[in-house]
Structure 1
Amino acid sequence: MRIRVLGPVTVGTETGASGLGGPKPKALLVALLRQARHVVATERLVDLLWDDSPPSSATALVHTYVSVLRRGMAAAGLAEAVRTRAPGYLLDVEHGECDVDLFEHEHERAREAERDGAFALAHEHYRRALSLWRGQALGGVDARFAVAWADELHERRLAARDGLARSDLALGRAEDAAHELRGLVTEHPLREETRALLMRALAESGRQADALEVYREGRRHLLDELGIEPGRPLRDLHTAILDGSVPATRATPASPVRVSARPVAHTLPPDIGDFTGRTGELASVLALGGTPPDDRVTRPVVVVSGAGGTGKSTLAVHAAHRLAPRYPDGQLFVDLRGFGAELSPFTALGRFLTALGVRAADLPTTLDERIALYRQRLAGLRLIIVLDNARAEQQVRPLLPGEPGCLVLVTSRSRLAGIGGAFPVELEVLRTPSALEMLGKIIGPERVAGDPDAAGRIAALCAGVPLAIRAAGAKLLARPHWPLKSLAARLADERRRLDELTVGDLAIRSCLSLNYAELDDRRRRAFHLLCLLDLPDFGWWLAAPLLDVDTAEAEDVVEHLVDLRLLDVAGVDQIGRVRYRFHDLVQLFGAEQAAEHETRETVTDAVARSLTAWADLVEAGARRLPRVTLGLRIAPSRQAEAHPELIAEVEADPVGWLRAETSTVVRAVERARELGVGRTATLLVSSLLSSTFAVRNEFDGWQRTQEVALALAREGHDRRAEAVVLAGLGQLHYEKDDFATARTHFEQALRHADAVDDDAVRAVCLVGIGTVRREQGHVVPATYALTTAADLAERLGEDSVVAAAEYGLGALHRDHGDLGEAADRFRRAAHRYAAVEDPRGEALAMRGLSLCHRARGEYREAADLSGRAAANLLAAGDELGATYSRQAWVKASLRLVPAVDLVGPLVECLAVCERGHDRFGVALVTRTLGELHLARNDLPAAREHLTAALALWTELGLDVWRARTLRDLAAADPSRQDEHWTAALDLLHGTGAREERELAATTPRQWRDTVRRQAT
């Protein structure tokens, strides 16, 4: 057995598992395994691996993943398992090489033995089948087809577990079966076959009462979740247990039923008929509350906490009703009004004692005496006590029983962590399916089904808050003539959403006001301003510049908002700091309060301070990251004024800090413009962010901040700023491989730079134009632009711009065969980059020089230089640049002897380019894979990769690269060599590229012979 999928997907033995790379090669193995020994077309594999949204390079990636899979299978001793068969691939493995085959074999033998009455043998086969499982089937693969297969396998596993229990029962081991089945029923409460087995096991162990309770629990689950009664077999078994026709193998004396000598009033509010969702939370409460009293040494206390409107009280009351049969002495309920006119423990005890039969005249007059009497009355009773809406632990402790037997359910907006031994249940907002289900239960499922899109918008705009959904449902019930889209349109207007979510006593605004009233002036202002910024998430430090306070006080303010459930904890970021976010409705409420209570001057000053702090922090981080853009500033740099400890934190891990803050600062830039605040600081932050976005190809944030900056520059009639932003947009689109749009932006920027006579901006624009024209194969204009840029930047003393121009000229000369001049230009570029302390630029120039050595056939020197360049780029923090150098190292290394494994490095390169949305890089690495297979005379694999690369170059509009790929295809596809060769010559005609001369001087056959000689 060397293919293991009943758990994490691996190949190899338990002691020597072979790596398969990331999830996609594993998904490919699963797809082929699902139809083992049958051909699966490549198009079908694309559909399976990417569901409904494959990338443009999907076909090429499939071929690459096949190479990865073959390597892993070979290491596991299955070298010939993955075969190429038109129109795709097949997995050729023997029966028994996969754990699924072995599981199915053992399972079938177990079933046969069971049918023959050989229960000991059946038990052994079931045990062997189940021992093959190592966790969730197909672990590490989340493609839709794999999830469906994993569900099927899970069902088979459950059937085997049932079979094992049946064997135990047949062998007289009822208690062993009950022990195994108890957990299985808890995991799958709606599985009637398993529940029936548990009932039988309990009955045969002499535990008929427990067996009947298992039936009642199952019936409740089926009615509550599916609205159906148990099936006939389960009902018949229930009847048999009731009338004693199920034999018991060991009788145990039944526990006497104790009737309470002190009847207790049932003060629990009525259950809600449309209780929805909260399956996991409800199961936790029911599990704890359903534990037999003999198994407990302390009283069970559950604290249900969550923000206002999340349904804490509803859950507690619903659970109390569900558990009522287990607590025959009754239920007590009290609303402690923790965030209003608070109910004291003294008063609450009075109500409880009255319900427990104490006359009002006999109630003790001190708190301690009431606590003592209360606990005395509860002694020996089994009842549920619901303490609703508690504010703090001090309200709850006097109301806790003194001994086991009672269940206490506490609800609170606070977590009440000070109650020792309490079991916490945290309520979040409802997910969309549960929110829609709840809306349907209120207004009728047919009304939701009539316009599911509008219903979905209503659920989304209620943000999963049960109180909001209930208010929306009540409004729709009151207006049966309204189509759902009418309410959806009203809720979409943020200015009136909270008004729309008010019906009678159902009001989100009133619910939030209770917590809001607890804020002092400073915390209230922080709440206002943070809500006004409308950020996706943020760190606590942001409150420091907003309030103009130190960082310690800022953290205290933010954490107090968390304590009051006005702010949620979003998680922990890459550098270990807590991130926070507002719930949508809370943010609207806070912004509404800010508009009412904060002056324009207060908002302007606070937001400007926060943007200035961001500028300081982003600049501190950018100084320690690779320089990718040419450093044009819209506004001048300034001395950092942010808190020194924050600057130090950024400098310690600039990559982690900037990744954590990216989405936040992008939204802050957009929000500042919406508020009309901090124009200069906003422009500065936008320009500072360009380089940090460029190094990681974070196109969305880059685009959004540049669009804000462009709008501000135009609104301010600042042509220099507009030129700088347009140049930034030019580089953005160049990095996106959108060369036509990049050129348009650079040329627009140049016109503005000429208008304001700014040579520094002009030089940068010319470098951009020259670089794009070079990529497009326009030699003369590219040379002119880059030469002019170099001369202009030289006069200005702008070494970084000179270096970029020299690099571009080096690439031009290399592409056209003047390798000596090219190498000289790359050396000059490296020298200039070193002068401005730019190790990234220096390493890129080193890679350019390595390509010159490779073109001369100096493969050892080329591999050495590109390897060093990759290491230096990684050290500089440029993973994508390092990937290009790694690809160059592979191309040099594949000509060296002895050959090393080069597929793995290329697969890693491909993954980096995919993550970075670098289409040029994907095309380049895909072509290199084709060249690698061609050099090793694997013509089918070479054709697959080269054809895929050709499609990508065509999509990018890069004719020279198309021609290079067609030249290689002529060698990989002899039957069409003349066609490919002619197409390559046509594309190269007039470009001046060195390949134009090379192809004109040789023939397809000579080229193919050259490739074969290199392969040997």
Structure 2
Amino acid sequence: MTQVIPVYRVLGPLYVADGPERIGKVPPGRQQIVLGALLLEANRVVSIDHLIDAIWDDSPPATARTQVQICVSALRSNLAAVDRGNAITTRSPGYLMRVADGELDAHVFARLTAEAEALVRAGDPRAAADLLRQALALWRGPALSGTTSRALLARAARLDEDRLAVLETWLDLELNAGRHRQVVGEIGALVAQHPLRERLRGQLMLALYRSGRQAEALEVYRAGRELLVDELGLEPGGELRRLETAILSGDPALTVRAEAPPVVELPRPAPAPAPEAVVPLQLPADIGDFTGRAALVARALELLAPGGRATRVVALVGKPGIGKSALAVHIAHQLVEEHFPDGQLYCDLGGTRAHPATAADVLGRFLRAMGIPGTSIPDSEDERAEMYRQLVARKRMLVVLDDAAAERQVQALLPGSSTCSVIVTSRARLTGLPGARVLEVEVLDHDEATAMLATVIGPERVAAEPAAATALIRLVGCLPLALRIVAARLAARSSWSLAWMLERLSDERRRLDELAHGEMMVRASLALTYDGLDVASRRLLRLLGALDGLSFPTWVAAALLDVDLMGAADLLERLVDAQMLELVAIDVTGTPRYKFHDLIRLFAKEQLEQVEEADERRAALRRVAGGWLALAGEAHARVYGGDFTSLHGDAPRWRPSQSYVDRLLADPLVWLESEHPNLCSVVELTAAEGLDEACWDLAVALVTLFEARCYFDDWERTHQQALAAVRAAGNARGEAALLCSLASLQLSWSRARVARDLLGPALRTFEELDDVRGLALARRNLALAHHRLGDNEQAAPVYLAALEGFRSAGDPVGQAYVLAQVAQIDLENGEQELAAGRLYEALDICREFGNQRVEVQVRYRLSDLMARQGRHREAEEALTELLEVVRAGRDIVGEARVLHRLAVVKVALGDPAAAEALLRAALEVRERAMDHGGAAETRAELAVVLAGLGDRAQAVGLLGRAITTFAERNMSAARLRAQQALELIRTG
């Protein structure tokens, strides 16, 4: 007989052979696992994901796909030594290993056993036995011995089982052929190796009996029975018991007649008797004071009631501490009595622990819970899953899988029966779990949170301090775990007031310390998820903790890590999947925005301070500040038609891609307003970190928004924060820039004297630094202060100096603004032609550079020129057009001024009723904008109109209020005009 020697050997240690000469084992480790996996699926495509699972089980590294590709490349090189370098081909979604007939020992084994089976059916048992002997000779030990891959070991176990089955068949043939003496020793050795295989034990009994060793045959039976009873609590199967009876009685059917050897039906292992029915009741206790979630519970009950053709699966997903586990158990208890009388299985899968439970381990637990002895539980996960599905088939059982890490951890644990239902909880979203309905578990609403607090501590304590209760609920963000901890601490300390608990929680630095009671800890719950993240995701979470509790765009994460936008987006989505971040919106570019739950932000901030070095924290914050600076600066340039009328520092910029910026800043003022809270927050953060250059630069850049939308309080707050930072750093230029900008704010508030005092130090610093643009801006503001104080003689030369400064600095928009202001003095001095020339020059500049903001101011002064020239209809038309422009641009300061000026024109046109309506509209706008000086000017004008309409009493009242405001704000010129108007009205 010619021995078959295949090229690829898996029936024993894995190696490749060239003809009869062995050329050595495949290098151990990953190459061996990859080759084994490909050979077990020879001539079929094996996905890269399958290879990754085979190598790393449930914990692949981020570079797994690349490492598999390297392994395959190395294998190809090794196989080239036997002229099979092209055996492995790339085929989506992985690889295919081409194996010809006779090249793989497992294929040869399967072919020989199939041929032997055909020979048995054809009545040639001797030839069949020869083929089986040849097939068994291919084995050199346990299949794929030496491999560490769980996936390969499971397949190898099935191959080993096939070998035993063929071996038993071969022994049957040998015994039927009368060769009992030749095989008795071999069978005895096999029984020693596999003492629970009843078929082998029966074959040994028969071989001994036929060899004249009846007592030994009966001793083999008794030893086997004792083993089965001790190990499994079971009696031997019926076939083995019948064989014992036949041996005791000397049944002639057991002998073999030489002239016609009968084919004796040999004892085969009978299926193990079904274990006594066990009803597992593994659900933890329900929470007695469970409150809220009524709609979610009702929806889950509806989805989980058995019916249809498939297992009902509901996945409850949500952030740490949201109450998923308690909710799952509560729902389960609502279901079991009516729908699942055959039992409930429960397991904490430990998805957030360092080493989550494997599906094989959980299946082993479930099988034991259903009465299967440990010795009968298969080793492989696939076989355990088959046994599990068989046991629960047609039973009405509920399975609760708590804290799942991912879909693949759950997949093997799903029953195959429509009579069963499954509840899964996870911090991952599990959207890939087939057939599962995912229910998002959110934080409690205020009423639910209040009910929980009242249930635990008593409604009378909540009723006694309703404001403190509301504040406590808000402080923990309605997070159930945190709220339950607060309630438990209050319940344990009846002397504590809710206000005292609130005081203890108010300090952010101690809040997570306070949110602990017994074994309940918010920090520990968050740490479980955090520890399960990959290194890059953990670092991003920490760095995000440096930001305030506001929503942020994707580019912020890219800046923190200094990576590209897509790389940051992938990490953010991992944090969303882990429920450590929330996706809250999609911005104008179509990219997501994210935010923290406040307690998760505090945890991230703790980790930041504990793990990241101070230099790393500052560098990350500097990049984020640089990103906001770059975008705010670009937004200003788009509003002003270029980088005009603004000062900048030398803080580094971090720039997203230009295409992204173009989409983001399609409407720059809309973007500035949408990011208003973030921009102000970054000023505060950079001030706290001592990043003085970035701080003052960003604060000044935000004036574009503050001025256009009248965010005067934010203007003052950000500038004071930045001022403290630059003074601490000795940053003279930054201080001068901020003082100059604060002077603009004081002018907006009609506090010209305060503005003038601020500008003195700024001017001196800019002169010392020879800062041309800084000087131009400071002189412009100083001239405006003089102008507002009615001192045109001082204002005019300073304006002209500012105009020359803007020309030297190459700032045409600055020139246009000053030209418009000088033209106003010309108008007040009666120099109408000179004013017209300056205004039209300014208008040309604005239109050339696309600066609509200054253009509005120039057109406003042109309407004044028209009115002074008696061209009231033209002025009316110009102002009406201008009103549409300022309203479209949401310029409420401009709207108030245009309404006021239009009212004056209406009076000149003989329409005081229209003038009154316009002035009242202007007053409403100015009061809404908190423009107290402007509101006083409008009241004074309205008083004059009302006096002309005969309402002298209301006119006197309005003028009295206006004069008071003018006096408070040192608006002496306006106060004098109002007093004169009041005297005229009083004297008739």
Indicate whether 1:399 and 2:413 are aligned.
Answer: yes
Indicate whether 1:345 and 2:359 are aligned.
Answer: yes
Partner of 1:284 in structure 2? Answer: 299
Indicate whether 1:574 and 2:551 are aligned.
Answer: no
TM-score (norm 2): 0.62
Residue 688 of structure 2, aligned match among 658, 674, 677: 674
* 1:219-261 alpha-carbon deviations (Å, 9 max, x no partner): xxxxxxxxxxxxxxxxxxxxxxxxxxxxxxxxxxxxxxxxxx9
Contact 2:683 2:699 in 1 (8 A): yes
Contact 1:867 1:889 in 2 (8 A): no
In the alignment, residue 732 of structure 2 is paired with which amino acid?
A: R
Partner of 2:438 in structure 1? Answer: 424
Deviation at 1:302, TM superposition (A): 1.4
Partner of 1:593 in structure 2? Answer: 607
Contact 2:893 2:926 in 1 (8 A): no
Partner of 1:565 in structure 2? Answer: 579
* 1:808-850 alpha-carbon deviations (Å, 9 max, x no partner): 2333454676655543442243245456663432343123212
Residue 503 of structure 1, aligned match among 517, 522, 526: 517
Q: Distance in 2 between matches of 1:627 and 1:786?
A: 22
Partner of 1:907 in structure 2? Answer: none
After superposing the two structures, state which structure 1 stretch, 333-342 or 321-330, moved more. 321-330
Contact 2:346 2:400 in 1 (8 A): yes
Partner of 1:464 in structure 2? Answer: 478
Partner of 1:49 in structure 2? Answer: none
User: Equivalent residues in 2 for 1:766-785 (5 A)?
Assistant: 766-772=779-785, 774=787
Partner of 1:555 in structure 2? Answer: 569
Residue 949 of structure 2, aligned match among 943, 952, 972: 972
Indicate whether 1:441 and 2:455 are aligned.
Answer: yes
In the alignment, residue 956 of structure 1 is paired with which amino acid?
A: G
SS of the residue aligned with 1:496?
helix
Q: Distance in 1 between matches of 2:940 and 2:717?
A: 36
Residue 311 of structure 1, aligned match among 304, 317, 323: 323
Contact 1:850 1:862 in 2 (8 A): yes
Residue 490 of structure 2, aligned match among 432, 454, 476: 476
CA 1:285–1:817 in 2, change beyond 3 Å: closer, same or farther?
farther
Q: Distance in 2 between matches of 1:862 and 1:977?
A: 29
Partner of 1:408 in structure 2? Answer: 422
Deviation at 1:519, TM superposition (A): 3.1
CA 1:896–1:424 in 2, change beyond 3 Å: closer, same or farther?
farther
Q: Distance in 2 between matches of 1:568 and 1:364?
A: 43
Q: Distance in 1 between matches of 2:356 and 2:975?
A: 85
Contact 1:967 1:984 in 2 (8 A): no
Partner of 2:726 in structure 1? Answer: 713
SS of the residue aligned with 2:301?
helix
Indicate whether 1:732 and 2:745 are aligned.
Answer: yes
Residue 273 of structure 1, aligned match among 285, 288, 296: 288
Q: Distance in 2 between matches of 1:587 and 1:689?
A: 26
In the alignment, residue 312 of structure 1 is paired with which amino acid?
A: K
In the alignment, residue 847 of structure 1 is paired with which amino acid?
A: Y
Q: Distance in 1 between matches of 2:781 and 2:558?
A: 40
Deviation at 1:304, TM superposition (A): 0.5
SS of the residue aligned with 2:639?
coil
* 1:407-431 alpha-carbon deviations (Å, 9 max, x no partner): 3221111110012332221122234
CA 1:754–1:888 in 2, change beyond 3 Å: closer, same or farther?
same
Residue 934 of structure 1, aligned match among 892, 913, 923: 913
Partner of 1:255 in structure 2? Answer: none
Q: Distance in 2 between matches of 1:380 and 1:528?
A: 49
Partner of 1:264 in structure 2? Answer: 279
Residue 320 of structure 1, aligned match among 327, 332, 345: 332
CA 1:345–1:957 in 2, change beyond 3 Å: closer, same or farther?
closer
Indicate whether 1:390 and 2:369 are aligned.
Answer: no
CA 1:798–1:594 in 2, change beyond 3 Å: closer, same or farther?
closer
Deviation at 1:327, TM superposition (A): 1.1
In the alignment, residue 586 of structure 1 is paired with which amino acid?
A: I
Residue 861 of structure 1, aligned match among 838, 860, 874: 874
Partner of 1:615 in structure 2? Answer: 629
CA 1:504–1:1003 in 2, change beyond 3 Å: closer, same or farther?
closer
User: Equivalent residues in 2 for 1:932-971 (5 A)?
Assistant: 934-935=913-914, 955-956=932-933, 960-971=937-948
User: Equivalent residues in 2 for 1:82-161 (5 A)?
Assistant: none
Q: Which runs of 5+ in 1 are unaligned?
A: 1-260, 898-930, 1008-1016
Q: Distance in 2 between matches of 1:893 and 1:323?
A: 77
Figure out how many residues of one structure are paired with residues of the other and give that number.
Answer: 706
In the alignment, residue 967 of structure 1 is paired with which amino acid?
A: V
Q: Distance in 2 between matches of 1:437 and 1:457?
A: 15
Q: Distance in 2 between matches of 1:464 and 1:528?
A: 23
In the alignment, residue 517 of structure 1 is paired with which amino acid?
A: D
Deviation at 1:452, TM superposition (A): 3.9
Deviation at 1:275, TM superposition (A): 1.4
CA 1:653–1:628 in 2, change beyond 3 Å: closer, same or farther?
closer
User: Equivalent residues in 2 for 1:879-894 (5 A)?
Assistant: 879-880=891-892, 883=895, 887=899
* 1:291-317 alpha-carbon deviations (Å, 9 max, x no partner): xx56x4544321110111110011111
Contact 2:744 2:755 in 1 (8 A): yes
Q: Distance in 1 between matches of 2:316 and 2:697?
A: 47
CA 1:411–1:960 in 2, change beyond 3 Å: closer, same or farther?
closer
TM-score (norm 1): 0.61
Q: Distance in 2 between matches of 1:416 and 1:979?
A: 72
Question: What percentage of residue pairs aligned between the two structures are identical?
Answer: 32
Q: Which runs of 5+ in 2 are unaligned?
A: 1-275
Indicate whether 1:850 and 2:863 are aligned.
Answer: yes
Contact 2:696 2:738 in 1 (8 A): no
Residue 807 of structure 1, aligned match among 809, 820, 838: 820
SS of the residue aligned with 1:303?
strand
Residue 519 of structure 1, aligned match among 533, 552, 558: 533
Q: Distance in 2 between matches of 1:352 and 1:950?
A: 73
Deviation at 1:740, TM superposition (A): 6.6
In the alignment, residue 543 of structure 1 is paired with which amino acid?
A: A
Contact 1:382 1:406 in 2 (8 A): yes
Deviation at 1:532, TM superposition (A): 2.5
CA 1:494–1:942 in 2, change beyond 3 Å: closer, same or farther?
closer
Q: Distance in 2 between matches of 1:266 and 1:411?
A: 19
Deviation at 1:753, TM superposition (A): 4.9
CA 1:828–1:318 in 2, change beyond 3 Å: closer, same or farther?
same
Contact 1:949 1:965 in 2 (8 A): no
Q: CA RMSD in A?
A: 4.5
Q: Distance in 1 between matches of 2:619 and 2:748?
A: 36
CA 1:262–1:970 in 2, change beyond 3 Å: closer, same or farther?
farther
* 1:889-940 alpha-carbon deviations (Å, 9 max, x no partner): 965997999xxxxxxxxxxxxxxxxxxxxxxxxxxxxxxxxx977149xx9x
Contact 2:645 2:777 in 1 (8 A): no
Q: Distance in 1 between matches of 2:868 and 2:473?
A: 62
